[in-house]
A and B are shown apart, each in its own frame.
Chain A
Amino acid sequence: MKNTRKMVLLANFLAIAIVLNIIESAIPVIPVPGAKLGFANVITLIVLYVYSFKDSSILTISRVFLVSLLTGKLLGPVFYMSISGALLAMLAMGFFKKLNFFGILGVSVLGSVFHCIGQVIGGYFVIGSTAIVLYLPIMLFLSIPAGVVTGLIAQRFLKVWQTWNKDIK
């Protein structure tokens, strides 16, 4: 029973993450080609806190693959940027959560910062030029408010989740 619930919830989370990712890629907030602020990371963060690092990493990787399949950009230049960004953000958030030094807000901001760094690394390999590194300062700067927003959303969600989960049990 418990496993079924977890499976269904993870599927729902994955669906939400995919929709968030697609919507986000349609809004060009930052003047950087192919880069995103990483609002879909909110699901990675929530699953990391609700379940485990393993679940959130499976979810993140399948999210990136499914989104690129749905938008027809699998193995395209933007795909490499999003996968390296998502992977680095995921690893950073997992690490800082384990460290238990920062709360969820700090973990979220750090994940957002690493998301940008990961995207620039991916972009460097796609375009083969360090020119993309010049965009890093503005991306990093914008990643802070993005990280705060995702952190606050996750915090609010976890509060609701705790009471809700108790009710079900």
Chain B
Amino acid sequence: MKNMNQQKKRDIILVGLLFVLLGGIFLAFRLLAFNEDAAQARVYYGNSNDPIVTIDFAKQTVTRHYDQDVPDAYAEDYPLINLENQTITLLGDYTVNGVRQIVVIKYDFTKRSAQIIEEQSPNNICSREGESTGWPLICLPNRVRVEFVTDQGDFTV
């Protein structure tokens, strides 16, 4: 019985400590991270580490690096870049009745932001994230992600 009480005490101490520690990390993270303006936003597909599209906010350009490997059944060549509407359309991994669904990313040069405006997934988490200026947008069921880069240096290497 004494052992039980001791364990209970330890439990409460553990929960309190974890609460303070993890809460502190979480707060520090929210306050300190991503205060800088992003120089670029990079769009990735799958588990590749080469961006498929780069949006350069400083130069106001959108560069398409390579084509998505799309089966012949899909008429378009993804990714599609629409400079007029400022959107990028990719083919995601999430399927509805066997058809892969598109992911539409909208970018803004002046606000230096990107937003996923259209996608299909069970909970629509990434489109509900809204507009982002630094926080990465990840759509796991579609395996599409948008990451922001603050320095431009590493592209010249």
Q: How many residues on the B side are at the interface (Cβ–Cβ under 8 A)?
A: 39
> Hey, what's the 0/1 contact readout for B114-143 against A, CB within 8 Å counting as 1?
000000011101101100000110111101
Contact assessment for A129 and B140 in the assembled complex, using a CB-CB cutoff below 8 Å: no
CA distance in complex: A129, B12 (Å): 36
Chain B residues contacting A113 (CB-CB under 8 Å) are 18, 22
Q: Is chain A's interface secondary structure helix, strand, loop, or mixed overall?
A: helix
Q: Known: A105-B8, A126-B47, A137-B29. Is A131-B22 also a contact (CB below 8 A)?
A: no
Which A84-135 residues have a C-beta within 8 angstroms of B? Answer: 101-106, 109-110, 113, 123, 125-129, 131-132, 134-135
Contact assessment for A137 and B147 in the assembled complex, using a CB-CB cutoff below 8 Å: no
Contact assessment for B138 and A103 in the assembled complex, using a CB-CB cutoff below 8 Å: no
Chain A residues contacting B145 (CB-CB under 8 Å) are 127, 129, 131
Determine how close the nearest CB of chain B comes to the CB of A107; give it in whole angstroms. 8
Q: Known: A33-B140, A78-B141, A103-B4. Is A109-B14 also a contact (CB below 8 A)?
A: yes
Q: Known: A78-B140, A134-B135, A144-B18. Is A105-B126 also a contact (CB below 8 A)?
A: no
A51 adjacent to chain B (CB < 8 Å):
no
CA distance in complex: A81, B141 (Å): 11
> Hey, what's the 0/1 contact readout for B138-157 against A, CB within 8 Å counting as 1?
11110101010000000000
CA distance in complex: A109, B18 (Å): 9
Q: A106-B7, A127-B143, A151-B11 are in contact. List 4 more A-B contacts (CB 8 A).
A: A128-B48, A131-B136, A131-B147, A137-B26
